[in-house]
Amino acid sequence: MKGLLFFAGSLVHWAVKKPQQFIYLHLYILALYRFDHNVGSYSSHGLGLLFTLAVLAPLFLVIYMGMPLDCLDYKAAILRENNENSAKTS
């Protein structure tokens, strides 16, 4: 439960710390929703793979940019966040 609450708090902090990334992510999600809606109303086949790749693209991007392997370990995330905060205050 502590891990879930920590990551929920991190999501709230992320929106405040990096609003440009937050807005881009939500615009991307809205564009995917619009794409899916348009494709679904005009044809029912042929673009499933493209849509799947578009949904997975942000995950591939963060892995490529160096997402840490222990990203879901909340103890490691707390240590990483404390190190970032101490580096900013020094």
Q: What are the boundaries of each domain within the chain?
A: 8-78
For residues 27 and 35, the answer to whether their CB atoms sit within 8 Å is no
**Which H or E run contains 9?**
helix 2-17
Per-residue pLDDT tens digits for 3-45 = 777 777 777 887 888 889 889 988 998 998 888 777 766 666 6
Give pLDDT, residue 27: 92
Give pLDDT, residue 36: 79
Per-residue pLDDT tens digits for 54-85 = 888 888 888 888 877 777 777 887 787 778 77
Give pLDDT, residue 90: 63
Model-wide pTM > 0.75: no
Give pLDDT, residue 78: 78
d(CA 25, CA 8): 17
